[in-house]
Structure 1
Amino acid sequence: MLILRVVLLMSAGVFLAGCGADGEPIQPTMSANIGVGSSGTYGGVGVGLSRGGFGVFLGL
């Protein structure tokens, strides 16, 4: 449940930062994946921000 809260808070931050209220717009990105392998199922999510030549991405 804690991971869900962290992901939701990060998503809200990406959304608010992406509105461009502080000048040059920040481009948010988000990805999610689910896979099935021989050892079971797995999932992952990630969020990122990029502005000009600078970008940050966080994956869980």
Structure 2
Amino acid sequence: MRKPLLVMAVLLAGCGVDGEPIQPTLNAHLGVGSSGAHVGGGVGLSKGPLSVFLGL
């Protein structure tokens, strides 16, 4: 139940509803190993001492 609230808060902060918009960061990676290939990534926001990162 809390995960949708966190996602909504990140989206609202990112679009500038509460003030100046925050530029998000994007992280993506591709790994290849003996067990095969895998992909992953995430998106994050940071403002002052607060950082939020959602990994996929």
**TM-score, normalised relative to structure 1:** 0.59
Identity across matched positions, percent: 67
Root mean square deviation of aligned Cα? 2.1
**Deviation digits for residues 17-42 of structure 1 (CA, Å, limit 9, x no counterpart):** 44545324423111101111000000
Instruction: Identify unmatched segments of 5+ residues in structure 2.
Output: 1-6
Pairing partner for 1:48 from 36, 44, 51: 44
Alpha-carbon distance in 2 for matches of 1:32, 1:21: 27
The answer for the alignment partner of 2:30 in structure 1 is 34
Mapped to 1, the partners of 2:29 and 2:55 lie a distance apart of 11
Q: Which runs of 5+ in 1 are unaligned?
A: 1-9
Q: Secondary structure in 2 aligned to 1:48?
A: strand
Letter in 2 for 1:48: G
